[in-house]
Each structure stands twice: as structure tokens, then as C-alpha cells.
Structure 1
Amino acid sequence: MNQKFDQLYHDYKNTLLESVLPFWLQYGFDKTHGGLYTGLDRNGTLLETEKSVWFQGRALWVYATAYRQMEKRSEYRELCDSLVSFIENHCFDPSDGRMYFRVSQEGNPVVKRIRYVFSETFAILGFAAYSRAFDKPEYAMKAYELFRKVERYLQEPGMLVPKFERESKGFGLPMILLNTVSELREALPEKSEELTRSIDGYIKEIEVFFVRPELKVVVEQCNPDGTLQLDHFEGRLLNPGHAIEGAWFILAEAKRRGGDVELTHLGMTMLDWMFARGWDEEYGGIIYFRDALGKSATEYWHDMKFWWPQCEAAIANLLAYSMNGKQEYLHQFEQVDKYIKTHFLDEEYGEWFGYLHRDNTLSTPLKGSMYKGPFHIPRMYLVCCELIDKLRR
């Protein structure tokens, strides 16, 4: 078993450091204007000069964490410094302090999505990781202050414009905040008690509103009172990758608390239900959308295989195995690992393809967009390397 984990650790570390991270450094790093492009074709050719604000923060987290956890490469620090500067100088609207969603290559505003706080949450992640990697406590405080702003945006009526006129609650927000505040807590241990209370609140919200034993699913949306919205498509929509991601966030918190029994049960239950719902028994891989009642799906990409749900399934199953040693989780991890290596890795140009049809034929060969960039894939390798390293000892 140790030999198998030794080989797996070598494979994951090598893919991360010699394929994934270099691809974005070589083709995405804008040394003229600062920050990172993500609109890249298969071979790194630039397809889109506008920049995703999400990915300025996400990439900052990735490269700062790789610097701290894997290797202290000077090029990682150079990119991190550039990302921090670009975020601070170009990604906040000076009129109200909110963040943009998309900016030009020079950093001029293009799109602002005032119904979301995800640009802010990813900046918090990035600032917290930057603080830890380069001993810059002032950025931990900047992350904390931004988190407090996010809380105010969520609490004050009218600060966020709802997506639907029909009131609803979404799974994505407490799930992302759980991860965001967990990372912030690592950078600000002096505020651990306060931030842990926030984490407890997010987990409780997930458990009460979105984990549904009556259907054995994790839903993406429900009514404000917790009742399900089963009479329309959005209310029945399941996103297995999203729910599995939330499951491993909860499992990681359980592990941090010494194997908290209740949290472990909650995370394992979410993983069990949604891996069963998401895994394609015919072609392999995690399918993008399912219907909670098994009805016909509406989204035209519902049965596609996107890159990121595979990443979350790999992390969640390996983490579950590391916590309880059950072979079913190791088997599911190995299924996902084999699927990724067979269908997503680009051996010729590096990094991964992002979009496959259900039968695993390639939908588009591009490597990046406003939504695909250096985050889920390098995070998978970073988290899994840490887990594998402990398993092989």
C-alpha cells in the first residue's frame, strides 16, 4: 500500500509542479499589466484579454499555497505579488467598495455582478493565503476586514440584488463561506473562536436547508422557510460536484476538530448520496446536473463532464478514506483518478481539458475561460498531496 501511495504522491506532485502550475505561469501571467489571463486555448494561445476577478483571488490562493506547501519558487512569489497589486488597484469599485466580476487587461471595469459576493470571497482566500506564505499579517487583516464587509452585504437589505423575484435560499453561499472562513481562520488564529462560530452557522444552514434525508440528496435551492421547490426546474436541480465539494469542506472541519462524530457523519452522508447520484455508471465521471425526482433535465449541458466536479470527487473520497479507512472510498477515489488520467489530462500541452460530452468525447479543447483557470485542478493536487503524504508514512 505504501508503494502505491508513494507512486501516487510522485504522480500528483509532478503533474502539479511540472504541468499545471507552469502552464498558467507561462501563458496566463500578464507581466505588462499585472494579474492573470485565463482565456487560453489548448496550447496557451490567448483567446480573451479580459480578466476574471474571481481568478485573481483564486490564483493568488493557489500559488501562495503552492509556495508555502510544496516549493518556494521565486516565480510563484512574483505572480502572487502581481496578483495582489492587480486586485487592490483594479478589482474594487472605488464608489462603493464592491468588487467587479470582469475587468479589461489593463484593469478597467467591464462587468459588475452585484447580486453575488464571490469575487470578495475569493479575494479573502487569496489574501489569507498570501499572508501565510509570505509572512504578511497585514493581508490577514485585510482579508478579515473584507469578510466583515461581506457579512454586512449579506445582512443589509438591498445590498445584493436577488437573482430571482421568487425568494429562495442557495446552497452555494454558505458552502463557499465555510471554505473561505476556514482559510481565514488559519491566517488569523487569534480570531479562531469568532470565526469558528461563523463556520458553525454555515454548516448548520447547509444541514437544515439543503441536506434532504427524505430524498437522499443535497439540493441547490429551497424556499426561505426550508420547504423544497419541486414544482419547477431550478428547485429540483442537483449539482453533484457542488454538493461533494461541500461534503469535503465539512469533512475537513470534522478532521480539524479531532474527528467530530456529527460533522463526520454529515459530510460522509452528503458524499455518499451525491456520489451515487453523480457518478456515470456507463461512461464514468461525475455528471454535471441531475434532477432530484429523476425527471428530465432541462439544462442542455446537464450530462456533460466538466473538469471541476472530478476534482472535488477525488478530494472528498480520498479525505473520507483517510478518516475512516473504508475501502469503498479508496475504490471511488481510484475510479475518479483513473477517469481523470484517461480523459482530462493533456499530455501534449499540459494542464487539463475542461469540457467533455457524456461519452467523454471532447467538447472544446480550450484550457481556460472566465470560469476555468488555476483553482480546482491545482487545489485538488495540493490537497491530495497533503493527504497522500500522510497515508504513505
Structure 2
Amino acid sequence: MTSTAANPAVSDAVAAMPFQLDAELRRVTAWWLNHSIDEAHGGFLAEIGMDGQPEPKTPKRVILNTRILWSFSTVAMHTDDPHVNSAAKRARDYVLQHFVDQENGGVVWDLNAQGDAINTRKQGYAQAFALYGLAAYHRAFGDADCLEMARSLFECLEQHFRDPELNGYWEAFAQDWSPLEDVRLSEKDANAPKSMNTHLHILEAYTELYRSWPDPALKDAILNLIELHIDRIYDADSRHLRLFWDNDWTDTSEAISYGHDIEASWLIWEAAEVVGDEDILSRCRPAVLGLAEACLHEATGPNGELLNEKDIASGHVDATRIWWVQAEAMVGFLNAYQMTGDGRYLTRVQELWSFIERHVIDPQGEWRWHSKIDADENPYWAGPWKSFYHNSRALIEAASRLRAL
């Protein structure tokens, strides 16, 4: 690592951060190893309450399980721990054996505790996370079956979800690929046929797959997704992402999501770097830095944390400090610092890590859904929408990037 004397912007506190991040990665990984294994039914527990007890009635969701697969697989690339390797294999086996629809292709949404499908809808978002986790497992362990299934999911997304006329990717279908009236990813989302969130995570998954399988068709799909993000999803006037559209790309967004803005800023740049296209790097740079700069100016809390979102019509800002938003902000602002050398971004990274240490991490558990200074109730340590994908990724990314300074 470059010394602090060689790089004056890197203080002693920043130089110490990679070791602190590594320690937290080991701690949170150990928590998942010790608390999330479902010994009774296989795979992983569907929900673990704030009292540390599992909730047996919660469905086993594909999002939780594929994110667990990605996290243990990626942590395995940075450690030499046989327990991590075993957990990654457990996640790999459970996803392939229980979530994959052998007859129709793709992965289904929810299982019961015994591993039987109870909600067979096909979300594009879910296909992306399954692809993401399987591609990471292949990269960690060289598993040919995982690579083949990841490639199959790429073909599934391109065949069933990609709009051949107006471009972009649709949200959801029934198990047999017939249309659905309600395509929402969650109750808080708009019932719109296209969304930023699905496009962003397809891009993230395709980027992961390209590291192992640099196929020309996959590269074309990544370039197309980057162009969609910078030309349609990103609004250059406001420097924010639009969130929802009709089929014809009529914008129906009602809010700005600061967490997704800062997450997208580094994921778009990462995708452009991985495919190695200088033209697309040049083209996406203004959008990437526009997102980071807007978050820096508009969404900074009193402790340097990142606020949640803003209602477009009223201008009301939801100041809730959500765990994944802080994690992604740390990487997003660090990426902006690496791109520009602007010390304001590095200062924000320090402030965010300090905030996470003081208000988000619980030494006796996982990261809190809401920080200690928010009045909102924390729903659970782990559950259908909360794994250690955001925090493990942020810890790994930030440590690696800080060492590169």
C-alpha cells in the first residue's frame, strides 16, 4: 500500500481502515456461519429475529439464499476458511436443488421451510441474483455446473425478460412465462413493467459472469445495459436515477432513492471497467460522477451518513439511515475518490465508516436494518430482504480499494 507520506490525502485513520474492515468482515461472516444454518430442513434459516430466534413460518426466499451464496463464495476468495467454503457449497447445493425450475427454466420466488415451492413467480431481479451467486461460486471454486446454470440464466433473461422492440428488461412472469397483472418486486414498489432496480442488478450479475465467461453476446448485453443506465435511467438534469417506467419508457417515478443512486454509481463504472471498453468508460463518467456528487450535496446526514430517499412531488426527505445505504455509500464515494482524487469523497468514506461502527453494527449480532439513532423498529437480523451481501461486499470492496491508495 502507498504510504501516507506518498499520498497526503490518506491519513493515518484511513490507512488503518482496511484492517478494521477486514476484522468486521470476519466477525459478520462468523455470525452467519453460527446463526443462519438450517439444521432441520437444509439450507439456511428464512428469518432470524432480533432476539436471535428463527421464525419458522417465513418463506425461504430466493433473494436471501442467492445473496448468501454470493457472499460466502466471495468471502471464500479472500479467506482460507474451510467453514466458509462449506457454507458456500451448502448455499450452492440448496439453490440448485430447490429454487431452479427444472421444467420451465429460471428460478422461483419462495419455498416453504421444507424446501417446496409455494410462490413460483419469475422475477427478473431474482434471476439476476441467482446468476450473480452462481457466477461467484464458479469464480471461487471453478464449479462447471454453476457456470452452466449461470449461462442458462443469462439466456433466460435475454429470451424472456428483454424487450426486443423497445429495449430494457421486464419485471416478472408467471412460472410458465405467461403475463402477470401484478409484477411488483415488493409491496413498496410501483406495479410498473420496468424498473431501475431490476436493470441495475442484471447489470451487476452480468458483470460478475463476464469475469469468468467473456462471451461476445454477454459483452453486448452489458454494453447495452450501461447505455440504458446512462441514457434512460439516469436523469442528467437532476443527477438522479429514475425508478419506474411503463413499457414505452414513460417515466412513472415518484421518488429519488439515494441509496440506489450511489450504488449504481460504482456498479456502472465497474461494469465498464470489466468489459474494458474505453468509449463506454468515457461516456458513463459524467453520469457516474453526477450521481456521486448529487448524493454528496443532497443526501448527507449530520454525521456524514447517507439519507434514504426523497419524494419528488413534496420534496420530503426520508432521513432514515438504512444499513445497506451506508454500505453502498462507502464504496460509491470511494470509487468517486479514485476517479477524481477529490478529498471530499474520501472524507465521506471516513465519516460513513465511523457512523457504521457507532450506529449500525451491533457487536452481538448483524448490522441493524435502521441505525441506533432512528426510531424505526428493526424487523430482524436476517430475513427475506436482509442477508450479508451489501455489508460483506462493501467491506471487501472498501478494504481492497483503500489498500490500492
Q: What is the RMSD of the two structures over their aligned residues, measured on CA atoms?
A: 2.5
Aligned partner of 2:308: which letter?
A: Y
Partner of 1:195: 218
Q: Quick check: 1:314 aligned with 2:330?
A: yes
Distance in 1 separating the partners of 2:194 and 2:97:
33
Where do residues 87-106 of structure 1 align in structure 2 (5 Å cutoff)? 87-106=95-114
Structure 1 residue aligned with 2:76: 67
> 8 Å contact 1:356–1:363 — kept in the other structure?
no
2:59 aligned with 1:50, yes or no?
Answer: yes
Q: Give deviations 1:71-129, integer Å, cap 9, x for gaps.
A: 12111111111111111111123442342222122211232333x22222111111111
TM-score (norm 2): 0.84
Aligned counterpart in structure 2 of residue 332 of structure 1, from 344, 348, 367: 348
User: Which of these residues, 263, 268, 275, is aligned with residue 250 of structure 1?
Assistant: 268
Map Cα deviations across residues 168-215 of structure 1 (whole Å, 9 max, x no partner). 5311122111110000001213x1x33221111111111222211233
SS class of match (1:370): coil
Deviation at 1:318, TM superposition (A): 0.9
Q: Residue in 1 aligned with 2:397?
A: 383
- 1:181 and 1:371 map into 2 onto residues whose CA distance is 21
**Match of residue 180, structure 1, among 192, 199, 205:** 205
For 2:381, which of 367, 372, 376 is the aligned residue? Answer: 367
2:166 aligns with none
**Which of 132, 135, 138 lines up with 1:131 in the alignment?**
138
The SS at the match of 1:39 is coil
Distance 2:32 2:113 in 1: 16
Inter-partner Cα distance in structure 2 for 1:295 and 1:351: 33
8 Å Cα contact 2:70/2:133 also seen in 1 = yes
1:80 equivalent in alignment to 2:99: no
How far did 1:23 drift?
Answer: 0.7
Aligned amino acid, residue 130 of structure 1? Y
The aligned amino acid for 2:111 is V
Give the corresponding residue for 1:220.
Answer: 243
CA distance in 2, matches of 1:135, 1:106: 29
CA contact (8 A) 1:219 1:292 kept: no
1:137 Cα deviation from its structure 2 partner:
2.9
Identical-pair percentage: 20
CA deviations 1:259-293 (Å, max 9, x no partner) are 7332222211122223433333x465322221235
What 5-or-longer segments of structure 2 have no aligned partner?
5-9, 164-169, 185-189
Distance 1:269 1:225 in 2: 26
Determine the structure 1 residue equivalent to 2:298: 277
- Corresponding residue SS for 2:377: strand
Q: Which moved more, 1:242-251 or 1:163-172?
A: 163-172
3-state DSSP of counterpart to 1:290? strand
**Cα pair distance change 1:28/1:167, threshold 3 Å:** closer
Relative distance call for 1:171 and 1:313 in structure 2 (3 A) is same
Q: Confirm or deny: 8 A CA contact 1:37 1:52 kept in the other structure.
A: no
Relative to structure 2, which stretch is displaced further, 30-39 or 139-148? 30-39
Question: Can you list the C-alpha shifts for 1:140-182, whole angstroms capped at 9, x where unaligned?
Answer: 1220111111221214797352537986531112211111000
Structure 2 Cα separation of the partners of residues 64 and 105 of structure 1: 23
Name the CA distance, whole Å, in 2 between partners of 1:306 and 1:27: 22
1:40 to 38, 48, 58: 48
Whether 1:240 aligns to 2:277 is no
Contact kept in structure 1, 2:49 and 2:379, CA below 8 Å: yes
1:346 pairs with one of 362, 365, 376: 362
1:266 match: 287
Change (3 A) 1:295 1:120: same
Does the Cα contact within 8 Å between 1:210 and 1:222 map onto a contact in 2? no
Give the aligned length: 374
**TM-score normalised by the chain length of structure 1:** 0.87
Task: Tell me the alpha carbon deviations over residues 347-367 of structure 1, each in whole angstroms, 9 at most, x when there is no partner.
Answer: 2x132111248x534622731
SS at match of 2:356: helix
Cα–Cα, structure 1 residues 167 and 41, in superposed 2: closer, same or farther, change >3 Å? closer
State whether residues 38 and 51 of structure 1, in contact with CA within 8 Å, keep that contact through their aligned partners in structure 2.
yes
SS where residue 100 of structure 2 aligns? Answer: coil
| Cα separation, 1, equivalents of 2:358 and 2:376 | 12
Decide whether the 8 Å contact of 2:107 with 2:130 is kept in 1: no
User: How far apart, CA to CA, are the structure 1 residues paired with 2:266 and 2:379?
Assistant: 29
Change (3 A) 1:258 1:167: closer
Describe the SS at the equivalent of 2:265: helix
Amino acid at match of 1:154: F
Residue 232 of structure 1 corresponds to none
**1:56 aligned partner, one-letter code:** N
How far apart, CA to CA, are the structure 1 residues paired with 2:286 and 2:232?
Answer: 17
Q: 1:321 to 1:107 in 2, by over 3 A?
A: same
